[in-house]
Amino acid sequence: MIRARSGYPAAVTTTLRADPVALTTAFRDARCLPRLRAWLREHVGEAESCGDAELVCTELVTNAVEHARGPRSVELAVSEDRVRVAVTDGSPERDPVAGRSRFEGEHRGRGLTLVAALSEWTVRVARRSKTVEATVLTPD
């Protein structure tokens, strides 16, 4: 069983920049995603244990960047046997649906299908925001 190294639960929250172009660039370059990955590895342990959580985090943040308005934030939390990824955006009216994309092409529209395969996920809608939360079990 994986245990959070610094005791659990451990959590980190990052507010993402509102400009979609800057946000996409920041997420894909050497700033945001590597910091989230490093945090996961620090608190979960082995890189192999983080793979599914990293992929789920990447997909949910990418969806928020491409399909929703700001402000956006991502929260990662580690407990004894799971990682929780919660991405909040400012588009409560846009309900995420697995297998549907506004972009055409064979390499698009699979993010939530992957999220569904790797985690238990839910959507919570508030008056001015939406949070997509996914829980990924860590290997024993």
Number of residues in the chain:
140
The pLDDT of residue 50: 76
Which residues span the domain enclosing 80?
Answer: 10-137
- The total number of structural domains that make up the chain: 1
Asked whether residue 71 is domain-assigned, the answer is yes
Asked whether residue 118 is domain-assigned, the answer is yes
pTM of the model: 0.74
42 pLDDT exceeds 90?
Answer: no
Domain CATH for 71: 3.30.565.10
89 pLDDT exceeds 70?
Answer: yes
Distance CA 102, CA 98 (A): 12
Higher pLDDT, 31 or 132: 132
Asked whether residue 5 is domain-assigned, the answer is no
Asked whether residue 53 is domain-assigned, the answer is yes
Q: Is the peptide bond before 71 cis (omega within 30 degrees of 0)?
A: yes
Check: CB of residue 89 under 8 Å from CB of residue 123: no
Helix axes of 47-67 and 20-28: crossing angle, nearest 10 degrees: 170
Q: How many CB atoms lie within 10 A of CB 140?
A: 7
The candidate with the shortest Cα–Cα distance to 20, out of 66, 81, 77, is 66
Distance CA 9, CA 101 (A): 34
Asked whether residue 4 is domain-assigned, the answer is no
